[in-house]
């Protein structure tokens, strides 16, 4: 049964409420309605974040590439699989696919590993950002490199966490993670 049907059921009982009870009933309707919006907002949000992050960081990779260094390959090998898995997991969660929760866990694991590398400034992040600071014309390259490392890690952790919560919640609601038929 669709969420709209449940909201119609709640609406049909609103007339029986009075005073503060009516207000609480309306708040309940808003809450139930809002719960239905979490997944449709979070999953595309993660997908847009992944695509947007790739577009924003594109110039950094291109500058290192044009500068003649190969360090971009290691950085790309670290970020690309995570981004692709994140994109795939977001689509699976949105479609209530049976593999959605597993994909969300894989995405979270990849994000945890890459964020640790990024925050600790270990290889391949450090040589990549060192090369970028060497070749870029950005006067605040050192600050921007740190921002890139930390902000990317925080954003990825937030996205993976939100997606995991939504995927777990969807699985808990359906039990098998299948869209009900009929």
Interacting residues toward another protein by CB under 8 A: 1, 3, 5-6, 8-10, 12-13, 15-17, 24-25, 27-32, 35, 172-176, 180
Residue placing its CB nearer to another protein in the complex, 144 or 169: 169
CB of 49 to another protein, least distance (A): 27
- Measured from the CB atom, the residue of 3 and 66 that comes closer to another protein is 3
Q: Minimum distance from CB of 51 to another protein (Å)? A: 32
Give the nearer residue to another protein in terms of CB position, either 134 or 173. 173
- Say if residues 163 and 46 touch (Cβ distance below 8 Å): yes
SS3 per-residue string spanning 44-66: HHHHHHHHHHHHHHHHHHHHHHH
Q: What is the closest distance, in whole angstroms, from the C-beta atom of residue 43 to another protein in the complex?
A: 19
Is 142 exposed, middle or buried (CB count within 10 Å of its CB: 0-12, 13-18, 19+)?
Answer: exposed
With CA atoms as reference, report the closest residue to 107 among 33, 50, 58.
Answer: 50
The nearer residue to another protein, 17 or 133, going by C-beta atoms, is 17
């Amino acid at each position: 049964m669709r969420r709209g049907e449940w909201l119609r059921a709640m609406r049909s009982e609103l007339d029986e409420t009075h005073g503060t009870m009516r207000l609480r009933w309306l708040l309940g309707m808003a809450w139930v309605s809002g719960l239905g919006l979490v997944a449709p907002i979070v999953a595309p949000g993660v997908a847009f974040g992944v695509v947007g992050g790739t577009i924003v960081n594109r110039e950094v990779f291109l500058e290192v590439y044009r500068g003649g260094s190969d360090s971009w390959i290691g950085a790309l090998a670290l970020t690309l699989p995570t981004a692709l898995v994140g994109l795939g997991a977001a689509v699976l969660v949105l479609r209530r696919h049976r593999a959605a929760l597993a994909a969300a866990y894989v995405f979270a694991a990849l994000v945890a590993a890459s964020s640790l590398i990024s925050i600790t400034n270990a290889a391949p992040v450090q040589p990549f950002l060192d090369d970028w600071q060497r070749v870029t014309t950005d006067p605040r390259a050192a600050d921007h490199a740190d921002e890139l490392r930390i902000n990317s890690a925080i954003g990825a952790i937030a996205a993976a966490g939100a997606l995991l919560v939504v995927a777990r919640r969807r699985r808990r609601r359906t039990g098998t993670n299948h869209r009900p038929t009929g």
